[in-house]
Amino acid sequence: MRSRRPPHLLPLLLLGLTLLAVPAHAQAGFVHLPPAHVGDLQAAAQARPELQILPFDAATAWLQTRFQQPRNLQPIHPTDLQTLHQGGTAAQSLDIVLVADGFTASERDAFFTAAAVTCDALLQWSPYAEYASLFNVYALFYPSPQSGASHPSQGVYVDNAFGTTFDYGGVERLAVADDAKVLDAVGQAAPDYDIAVVVVNDPAYGGSGGAVPVVSMAPDAIAILRHELGHNLAHLADEYDAAYPGYPAGDGEPNVASLAHLEPLKWHAWVKPETPIPTLEAQATSLYTPVGAYEGARYQSVGMFRPAPNCLMRSLDMAFCPVCQEALIVAIQKSTSMLRSRLPGPGPIVTCTLGQCPTFTVQTAPIATLQLQWLRDGHEVATGDSWSPGMDDVGDHTLTLRVHDATDAVLSDPGNALVEEAIWNLHVDATEPPPDPAVRALDCGSCSEDVVATPAPAQVSTASGCQAGTAGGSSWPALLALAAWALRRRSA
Ligand SMILES: [Zn+2]
């Protein structure tokens, strides 16, 4: 992650629970609930006839005591942390750890297979797919004494490592884990992680969002994870209009606007002049167009607006609408680095004689929409991934390599999250330098260690391609070492 936060802060930003709809695809998928409103969950669910309400008093009491029990997790073996997908170093990437729950020791291989399937299904979905090279995904195995997850409404209680259970709050498909234990375990095994996700060994459809998203083994459950990461990464709001009593008021998320904030719309860059605001669903030309302001979002059917007729933040079988997609891309870019290495590396003034100057070279993440521009004292002198000084470059200059993600999926980037720069101070002599050791002639073959920092390139996956067991637990220390290099590089 580019702007390193305290290890557990990101997940905690979105503490909440998720209420799953039944059937999953017929209605808006789920409601995001802050933990303080767990008591309201039942009321919210009863307000929605499509939800299946189960008797749960005894189950809830059981869960509360269960989560207070100390659990002795076995020390993990190095091979219990495997790399599924490696886009770059930890410092350059968003690091997601898929954690096993409900897999016994004999089901270890099944977990890594399931984690790879989950990873693939996530990174094949836009916009995660286009930016897969900015993600690392790991699988962390902890054996559970028993297989599966609890279903208290059915009288099924499973002794698994992280206490994952369905029926939370009386909602059958709401599967939650013991967040604190998961975060503690992941923090020990993979301290540089950004998001921990529990993959629970249960075929029932279910999951949840919040600090630690949970996803079951049901094939369609991957949509829950895609949706929940919209909350975790981009702070997207749910676009459901089903009532949620007690939910805090506001429209601070990038994909919702209250009646008072329709002019100007925060996503106005996407709205064509001919699109009326508010926009009626009858005026929709497709599932996601035109972008406008459609009433019904953030658990309110009136007075709260969403950008598009539909969206994955509204219905689980949809794609992300353009505004949510933009917010996700900006959020991903803000937390990662497109620039992978630079030559010469950060250091003092690069001094050289014309004809003997180094070729300035950068490596970038394999993102299709990147544009590279070389600027000498603010003026473009070249494009592409390398540049060499010429006759016009004699003297003192500031050389800037600017990487810009020119994707047309982002129309508004006020924080320049999609731009990165590498800067060198350059002095070019026209003639042979005097025999002064203070003046160093550099070329790529004689670059000194403090000037040239060329890391061992991380294994880069150009497609999502998740595969368990490719690097083993030993990859994590290597990533940390590279992260240290990257931090030094970024400070230059
Ligand atoms: Zn949306």
How far is ligand 1, taken at its centre, from the CA of residue 130, in Å?
A: 18
Whether 83 and 180 share a structural domain: yes
Out of 27-31, 32-36, 231-235, pick the least confident.
Answer: 27-31
Residue 169's φ and ψ, nearest 5 degrees, are 65, 15
How far is ligand 1, taken at its centre, from the CA of residue 367, in Å?
A: 23
The burial of 263, by beta-carbon neighbours within 10 Å (0-12 exposed, 13-18 middle, 19 or more buried), is given as exposed
Q: How far is residue 188's CA from residue 186's CA, in Å, rounded to a whole number?
A: 5
Ligand 1 ion: residues within 5 Å (CB): 255, 311, 313, 321, 324
Residue 402 lies in a domain: yes
Q: What is the CA radius of gyration of the chain?
A: 25
Whether 406 and 282 share a structural domain: no
Whether 324 and 353 share a structural domain: no
Instruction: Return the bridge partners of 429, or none.
Output: 353
DSSP 430: S
Check residues 258 and 48 and name the one with the higher pLDDT. 258
Task: Supply the pLDDT for residue 292.
Answer: 98
Is residue 90 predicted with pLDDT exceeding 50?
A: yes
| Spatial CA neighbour of 480 closest among 179, 136, 180 | 136
Whether 288 and 383 share a structural domain: no
Whether 310 and 359 share a structural domain: no
* Most distant CA atoms of the chain, gap in Å: 88
What CATH code is carried by the domain that includes residue 219? 3.40.390.10
How far is ligand 1, taken at its centre, from the CA of residue 46, in Å?
A: 26
Helix (H, G, I), strand (E, B), or coil: what is residue 11? helix
Residue 245 lies in a domain: no
**Whether 82 contacts 470, CB under 8 Å:** yes
How far is ligand 1, taken at its centre, from the CA of residue 321, in Å?
A: 4
Is residue 137 predicted with pLDDT exceeding 50?
A: yes
Six-digit token string for 3: 């702007």
How far is ligand 1, taken at its centre, from the CA of residue 376, in Å?
A: 41
454-488 exposure pattern, b = at least 16 Cβ within 10 A, e = fewer: beeebeebeebbbbbebbebebbebbbebbebbee
Is residue 396 predicted with pLDDT exceeding 90?
A: yes
Residues in contact with 341: Cβ distance below 8 Å, sequence separation at least 6, in sequence order: 362, 363, 453, 454, 455, 457
Confidence of residue 263 (pLDDT cuts 50, 70, 90): very high
Whether 320 and 218 share a structural domain: no
Residue that the structure tokens 């003192």 belong to: 396
Instruction: Return the bridge partners of 82, or none.
Output: 139
- C-alpha count within 13 angstroms, C-beta hemisphere, residue 393: 28
Task: Supply the pLDDT for residue 432.
Answer: 59
Helix (H, G, I), strand (E, B), or coil: what is residue 45? helix
Residues in contact with 268: Cβ distance below 8 Å, sequence separation at least 6, in sequence order: none
How far is ligand 1, taken at its centre, from the CA of residue 322, in Å?
A: 7
How far is ligand 1, taken at its centre, from the CA of residue 2, in Å?
A: 25
> Of 332, 363, 394, which one is at a domain's C-terminal end?
332
DSSP 391: G
Strands 257-258, 294-297: pairing kind: unpaired
Please give the mean pLDDT across all residues of the chain.
79
Task: Supply the pLDDT for residue 79.
Answer: 81
Per-residue pLDDT tens digits for 404-455: 999 999 999 999 999 999 999 999 999 755 555 544 443 333 333 333 333 3
Whether 141 and 65 share a structural domain: yes
Residue that the structure tokens 């009288």 belong to: 155
How far is ligand 1, taken at its centre, from the CA of residue 332, in Å?
A: 16
Residue 483 lies in a domain: no
Residue 22 lies in a domain: yes
Residue 252 lies in a domain: no
| Spatial CA neighbour of 152 closest among 131, 176, 127 | 176
How far is ligand 1, taken at its centre, from the CA of residue 343, in Å?
A: 40
Whether 287 and 322 share a structural domain: yes
Residues in contact with 486: Cβ distance below 8 Å, sequence separation at least 6, in sequence order: 89, 91, 92, 337, 455
Residue 383 lies in a domain: yes
Q: How far is residue 321's CA from residue 239's CA, in Å, rounded to a whole number?
A: 11
What CATH code is carried by the domain that includes residue 447? 2.60.40
How far is ligand 1, taken at its centre, from the CA of residue 308, in Å?
A: 7
Whether 304 and 432 share a structural domain: no
Residue that the structure tokens 């008072």 belong to: 260
Is residue 195 predicted with pLDDT exceeding 80?
A: yes
Whether 226 and 129 share a structural domain: yes
Per-residue pLDDT tens digits for 72-83: 555 577 789 999
How far is ligand 1, taken at its centre, from the CA of residue 9, in Å?
A: 24
**Whether 29 contacts 215, CB under 8 Å:** no
Per-residue pLDDT tens digits for 329-388: 999 999 999 999 999 998 889 999 999 999 999 999 999 999 999 999 999 999 999 999
Residue 244 lies in a domain: no
| Spatial CA neighbour of 275 closest among 254, 303, 297, 294 | 294
Whether 202 and 110 share a structural domain: yes
Confidence of residue 469 (pLDDT cuts 50, 70, 90): low
**Whether 324 contacts 234, CB under 8 Å:** yes
Is residue 306 predicted with pLDDT exceeding 70?
A: yes
**Whether 355 contacts 329, CB under 8 Å:** no
Whether 117 and 215 share a structural domain: yes
Confidence of residue 31 (pLDDT cuts 50, 70, 90): very low
**CA 3 distance to own-chain centroid:** 13
Number of compact structural domains in the chain: 3
Q: What percent of the chain has pLDDT over 90?
A: 62
Task: Supply the pLDDT for residue 121.
Answer: 95
Is residue 238 predicted with pLDDT exceeding 90?
A: yes
**Whether 134 contacts 93, CB under 8 Å:** yes
Residues in contact with 221: Cβ distance below 8 Å, sequence separation at least 6, in sequence order: 205, 206, 207, 215
Residues in contact with 274: Cβ distance below 8 Å, sequence separation at least 6, in sequence order: none
Task: Supply the pLDDT for residue 483.
Answer: 37
Q: Which domain holds residue 314?
A: 257-332
Residue 309 lies in a domain: yes
Residue that the structure tokens 């709001």 belong to: 237
205-244 exposure pattern, b = at least 16 Cβ within 10 A, e = fewer: bbbbbbbbbbbbbbeebbbbbbbbbbbbbbebbbbbbbeb
Predicted structure pTM score: 0.78
Residue 285's φ and ψ, nearest 5 degrees, are -105, -15
**Whether 45 contacts 158, CB under 8 Å:** no
